Amino acid sequence: MMAFLLVKNETVGFNLHFLPYFCFMGNKSVIAMFGMSGLLVLFAGYASILPDVLESNAQVEISTSKNKLKHYLSSAENFQDWMFSDGVKRDEWRILLSGKKTGEGSVLKWFSESIGDGGLEVKTVSDSHIVFERISDNNLFRDRGYLFFDAIDSNHVNLRLIDSLDVSTNFAARYEAQDEDYIEKIDASNLVVLKRLKQKIETE
């Protein structure tokens, strides 16, 4: 009986000895949990104030008729000729066409190792503008483009692009978009694209 009590007392003493340790470790876990929760709340709050839609503007004058330009831009297939540089359209470049050949519902899809896969659909065709929607870089970027064409005369058109870029799924782009230079770079890039379209139209 004495031996049993001794063992029992030693066991109780052992547990009491480690009780402060377990309490301390438990407190550390609680502190760590609240700390992580706080960081997540701060991150979510910071992310919520970052821009998720960017707007880019570019324009160019093209020597062509309004009807010819409208007809050309009504086909999604034609977008590959001016939207992408020759350096992008290399051996691994593949396209898939679907929907209508021209007009609303005309669709172009591309597959590329260098710029990622994407797709474009002509959504609206009117006398004053064409609207297209695009998904690019493996769904990292989504945008809605508005191409407005204003006839200067019978052989000259002012083409204006308003590009509404959705970067809500790309945190890096939302962070960089805080810098005005980021928008300016997009504007410059879109101007290069329009100049490529101008050259394509005027040399045909």
- Which region among 66-75, 90-99, 137-146, 174-183 has the lowest average model confidence (pLDDT)? 174-183
| Cα dist from 104 to 29, 108, 163, whole Å | 58, 12, 18
The two structure tokens encoding residue 174:
């939302």
State CA 6 to chain mean position distance.
71
Q: What pLDDT does 6 receive?
A: 41
CB 66 within 8 A of CB 151: yes
Dmax (CA) for the chain in angstroms is 114
| Confidence check: pLDDT of 107 > 70 | yes
**Tens-place pLDDT, residues 52-81:** 667 889 999 999 999 999 999 999 999 999
Give the mean model confidence (pLDDT) for residues 173-195: 80
